[in-house]
Structure 1
Amino acid sequence: MLQVLGGTVPPNTDHAVSVSLPTWRANVGYEEGEDWVISKMVCGYPRFFVHPSIQKLVAELVQRVGDPEKETATLFASIKTARICQSFILSKITPEQAQTVRIVNFVPSPNANVEPTSITSSVASVIYPKDFASIAKQVWQHSGNGISSRRGEFCLRALQDGFLVEDKSSSAADVFPQRPCKGPRRYQGRGSLSGPSWGSSTPSTSSPTPPSSNGLEEGPDYGQFIEERFGRNLSALHAKQAKIAVRKRIAGVLTADVELPEALETASTTGRVDDISEDDVYLYPSGMSSIFNSHQILMTAREPRKSICFGFPYTDTLKILQKWGPGCLFYGHGSSEDLDDLENRLKNGERFLALFTEAPGNPLLKTPDLIRIRALADQYDFAVVVDETISNFLNINVLRYADIVASSLTKIFSGDSNVMGGSAILNPHGQYYQKLKETFAQEFEDIYWAEDAVFLERNSRDFIARIEKINSTSEQITAMLKESPLVKDVYYPKYSPTRPLYDSLRNSKGGYGGLFSVTFHSNAEAVAFYDTLEVLKGPSLGTNFTLSSPYVLLAHYGELDWARSFNVDPDLVRISVGLEEVPDLRARFQAALDAVAKVEK
């Protein structure tokens, strides 16, 4: 299987959410920032790598309202999400530097002829000196609120054609009174960024665009712009219907694999729990955004307090709880002893905002004791937020024990690895339900890009059939690996010491999911297995094709000893099983095991 270093995963996909890192050495080179890897990357996981369409949009915006030599920008879909980034940067710099960080909002031109059903977009630019790029990068990565590549593509074309203009209204000026004198306002042409660097913007040498493009005195037709630029009519009505269908599907009331109009007509009245509806489901631009915003909502709805991170988490969840709000109590093992310690703290008067956990966890696939956690939460007044991404709601039902369930729709819900998305679901029987509904009504803003919603809806129609096949295949492949003396450990819910806890959450037809991790007896053996295994290799999971990565190396490269302290092996290889036929996958895994057998002991 030919894999091009730095190419899209899947191949030939403009908006792919993974990147090819086909060898162990390539993963190390990526983490070390080595040019032989970085220079070849045409994409990356979107919260870690700025897509080329967004890089070009950044360059174009900074040339218009900033100083391309000294400044760069991070882009968001709304003023509200941009302010989060601005505030975070300001908290890390001196008061004297604060005036160099500003928000410039770009909005659809008031002179354009826009039909009511046309898709439009604003883009809020947080502009700052390049020296602060590493700070802004943390917000992009952890919050997941940044604009998507499709929105970036749309806004770039709208800006170039004069349909997106700087908001110079008095209200915009009033919001940001400390905005400093800008850099050169000349517009030199279509800019581009040559790589994934956060702090660079490279001017283009293309022909200048007349300044009058910002004026739009003749009122051009927006529908014609959509048709000519995108070759299709992006209908606001279609996008709205797609979002409704996705929310119904997540609520569990839409299970039919049919076209959109029929699907919306045939949805049932029952879902994941009694009384749930699509109104209890909120869509976000990424799974991390759903977790970040759930935390923000909880801090608004309740008195801000420390949160609890229970179990070894996906890296950004812990970072969110540590960097925003009053802090975090971390239980990295997620054990019964950890719950004993938490209960003692609660008995002694400590109080918390919420407990965040994953069911099962990543990458050891351990399941937390949600029944006991729920009992403690009810007794001692804290919320429970569960990330169900890895197993998904068709396999297990965690909503009955949670106040909020978060999920990355980028993963198995979509499957095609070509669109980002996330959701937060409220338990209508939760103790904070009414207060959370009120707070969501006040604070939630729909920043999920319309085009992304359309792709996500189409991708997710056969979600149920895909899950059933992946469950079955994963059990057969993990059984094969468990039988091999070359394998040190297989981490999978079926073989976990916490299997009884997982089984207590399983639905009647639920399986054990499509993700597992495997370790070997030496680094050399792990490298041989990874390099030989003929599957696509890169970050992400839940794809329709089998995908592998040295997960701990990628997620915790700067803290491998810390990960090891929680029994997470730095040489662990994580596998996400796809839709390939079992005999085919067995042959590929056997070839990788044969390579392990040849490693000198």
Structure 2
Amino acid sequence: MKKEVFKHIACGETLPIKNIHAVSVSMPTLQDVIDYEEHTPEILEKIKSAYPRFILHPYLKILAKYIKEKYSVCDNYEVVLLSSQEAVKIVSDKYFIYNKIDIDEPFGVILVIKGTTQLQKVLTFIQHVGCNLSSRFAQDYLYKVKIIDTIHKEELEDEKTATFTLKNTLAKAYNQPIENIGLAPSGMNAIYSVVRGLKKIQEKSNRTILVQLGWLYLDTMNIVEHHYDRTKKFLDISNLDIVEEFLEKNGLNVSAIITEIPTNPLIQSVDVKRLRQLCDKYNIPLVIDATLATPYNLNLKPYADILVESLTKFACGNADVLMGAVILNENFKISHMQGEFFKHLDMVYIKDIQRLAYEIKGYEKRVKKISANTKKLIKYFKQNPLIDRIYYCCNEENKKNYEIAMIDDNSYSGLISVTFKKDFRKIYDNLNFAKGPSLGTEFTLLMPYVYLAHYDYISCKKGQEFLKKINLPIDLLRISVGTENIEDIINEFKRVESLIS
């Protein structure tokens, strides 16, 4: 009998396990996910920490309480912490919040009246734009004032060389000058900064429309809608004919086109060569979120004006740093405008930079191993009787779009999404991989994507009809393939296959 390598991970355990800075959390059953989305008290008791933009980190809760006591803040107010004073200004101006108490701290603090819709709007906006205060900053602050007595032990790059190491690695990977690399405290803050920069440039012209190509990540779409009154969405990325028809009439009014290559979670790609030609024809900047592609699988330098990457994912590989990057392409004329895009990037805490600078040294090797594992796992899935449909970056539907940009024939994005012929809940509950939000980890990580990203659609008939219209299956399992022995990964799926069949 084969040894079971993967074990059940209890609900609420951090992913990675026992790491206070983890950005993922174990949700081992579908009911755990549903209870989390419905804010069931029992599940919230278990889940102390999760993806930092969605769940307030325990250290930030303690720090907020400390600030409230330090400045004698009235109980009617909620203390909200942000990454910087600049972030405070942005949120305060947007929601007309002006603190009556002078708070002198090396991070951002705003006071919002409890029990108001304003508070929820503020928290949602912070989630979208990714200006959360770093858990490492909170840890160091609390340790300094003797509220906590331990610092999480981890490998860090030297403070003097960390920023250069991180930026230089990205510059070489993307084949860009180092000055064209900008760092952000999250991938969403990187997107936010690009959109703000485009908006600022557009104010000097008549280009007031932003085109969204594909069903993008939830918060990317929210940021676009926040900043552009005029947006045009083309959810079917395989049909560039309708995009071309739109541009024939409106091309000179388009501020930018934003897309993901490949998309999350259906792992689809636009015909990037044709899209670039359309952008050139109408002088439109092309923004590509290349998080899933990584610079080691797809060469997007000939096509994108601006690239954005969530470094939290494959660049980190350990799901314990929240960070993002903006990469301006030297090939295109927009590259000289670093100031307009980089000035909107929020501050990144040095300890986060040190941690990621240490982890990014294994970036290329990690991606190559994950890519090789992905190829073999897809081959297994094609003969697995439980699998209904497989979504992956080199499938026949997408291959023609990748041939231009693929580094080599063996480049596979480390993400696979699948649907099943048998009961989704039973399969999900019985798989013993790590299960929770995020991706790009060295450990295989599963996520019931639609349940966690679009539960509001699942919970109503109209929403379900919309998901069907855009061909996003409710019972979709997104698999972030890890670097473990591929035979062990396959054997875990085989175990559940024999259990369910």
TM-score between the two structures when normalised by the length of structure 1: 0.76
State the Cα distance separating 1:13 from its structure 2 match. 0.6
What SS class does the counterpart of residue 345 from structure 1 fall into?
Answer: helix
Identify which of 20, 28, 40 aligns with 2:34: 28
Q: Does the CA-based 8 Å contact 2:185-2:346 persist in structure 1?
A: no
Q: Does the CA-based 8 Å contact 1:59-1:72 persist in structure 2?
A: no
State the Cα distance separating 1:529 from its structure 2 match. 1.5
Q: Does the CA-based 8 Å contact 1:395-1:509 persist in structure 2?
A: no
State the Cα distance separating 1:229 from its structure 2 match. 7.5
Residue in structure 1 matched with residue 185 of structure 2 by the alignment: 285
Q: Does the CA-based 8 Å contact 2:389-2:418 persist in structure 1?
A: yes
1:391 has 2:289 as partner? no
Read off the aligned partner of 2:431 and give its amino acid letter: L
C-alpha distance in 2, partners of 1:382/1:570? 35
Deviations 1:107-150 (A, max 9, x none): 3xxxxxxxxxxxxxx11112111223211121221101111111
Identify which of 95, 103, 106 aligns with 2:104: 106
1:569 has 2:473 as partner? yes
Read off the aligned partner of 1:481 and give its amino acid letter: F
For 1:66-465, what aligned pairs fall within 5 Å after superposition?
67-90=73-96, 105-107=103-105, 122-130=106-114, 131=116, 132-158=118-144, 160=145, 238-252=158-172, 272-273=174-175, 276-303=176-203, 305-336=208-239, 339-349=240-250, 351-434=253-336, 436-440=337-341, 443-444=343-344, 447-465=347-365
What SS class does the counterpart of residue 593 from structure 1 fall into?
Answer: helix
Distance 1:53 1:465, change over 3 A: same
State the Cα distance separating 1:563 from its structure 2 match. 2.7
What SS class does the counterpart of residue 127 from structure 1 fall into?
Answer: strand
Aligned residues: 482
Residue in structure 1 matched with residue 435 of structure 2 by the alignment: 537
Distance 1:293 1:445, change over 3 A: closer
State the Cα distance separating 1:346 from its structure 2 match. 2.0
C-alpha distance in 2, partners of 1:102/1:288? 30
Read off the aligned partner of 1:579 and give its amino acid letter: T
Deviations 1:473-504 (A, max 9, x none): 11111111111232110111122501211222
Q: Does the CA-based 8 Å contact 2:23-2:320 persist in structure 1?
A: yes
Higher relative contact order (CA 8 A, sep 6+): 2
Residue in structure 1 matched with residue 455 of structure 2 by the alignment: 557
Deviations 1:341-391 (A, max 9, x none): 222222223522111111000111001122122112122132111011112
Distance 1:85 1:438, change over 3 A: closer
C-alpha distance in 1, partners of 2:200/2:232? 20
C-alpha distance in 2, partners of 1:549/1:484? 20
What SS class does the counterpart of residue 432 from structure 1 fall into?
Answer: helix
Residue in structure 1 matched with residue 461 of structure 2 by the alignment: none
What SS class does the counterpart of residue 470 from structure 2 fall into?
Answer: coil
C-alpha distance in 2, partners of 1:399/1:278? 15
C-alpha distance in 2, partners of 1:467/1:144? 25
What SS class does the counterpart of residue 16 from structure 1 fall into?
Answer: coil
Identify which of 472, 490, 497 aligns with 1:586: 490
Read off the aligned partner of 1:341 and give its amino acid letter: I
Distance 1:508 1:496, change over 3 A: closer
1:41 has 2:25 as partner? no
Identify which of 418, 421, 428 aligns with 1:521: 421
Deviations 1:452-472 (A, max 9, x none): 011101111111221111111
C-alpha distance in 2, partners of 1:272/1:564? 37
Q: Does the CA-based 8 Å contact 2:328-2:334 persist in structure 1?
A: no
C-alpha distance in 2, partners of 1:432/1:466? 32
1:508 has 2:403 as partner? no
What SS class does the counterpart of residue 120 from structure 2 fall into?
Answer: helix
Distance 1:413 1:510, change over 3 A: farther
State the Cα distance separating 1:556 from its structure 2 match. 0.5
Q: Does the CA-based 8 Å contact 2:188-2:310 persist in structure 1?
A: yes
Please list every run of 5 or more consecutive structure 2 residues that lacks an aligned counterpart in the other structure.
Answer: 1-6, 459-463
Read off the aligned partner of 1:477 and give its amino acid letter: L
Identify which of 2, 7, 10 aligns with 2:13: 7
Q: Does the CA-based 8 Å contact 1:354-1:385 persist in structure 2?
A: yes
Deviations 1:537-560 (A, max 9, x none): 110000010000101110000023
Larger Rg over CA atoms: 1
Distance 1:593 1:86, change over 3 A: farther
Deviations 1:303-354 (A, max 9, x none): 3623111111111100110122334211122122xx2222222222352211
What SS class does the counterpart of residue 111 from structure 2 fall into?
Answer: strand
What SS class does the counterpart of residue 194 from structure 2 fall into?
Answer: helix
C-alpha distance in 2, partners of 1:24/1:321? 31
C-alpha distance in 1, partners of 2:35/2:276? 43
Is 313-322 or 464-473 further displaced after alignment? 464-473
What SS class does the counterpart of residue 401 from structure 1 fall into?
Answer: coil
State the Cα distance separating 1:564 from its structure 2 match. 2.7
What SS class does the counterpart of residue 128 from structure 1 fall into?
Answer: strand
State the Cα distance separating 1:66 from its structure 2 match. 5.6
State the Cα distance separating 1:510 from its structure 2 match. 5.5
Is 358-367 or 124-133 further displaced after alignment? 124-133
What SS class does the counterpart of residue 22 from structure 1 fall into?
Answer: coil
Residue in structure 2 matched with residue 481 of structure 1 by the alignment: 381
C-alpha distance in 2, partners of 1:231/1:388? 31
1:471 has 2:371 as partner? yes
C-alpha distance in 1, partners of 2:383/2:470? 26
Matched-pair identity in %: 29
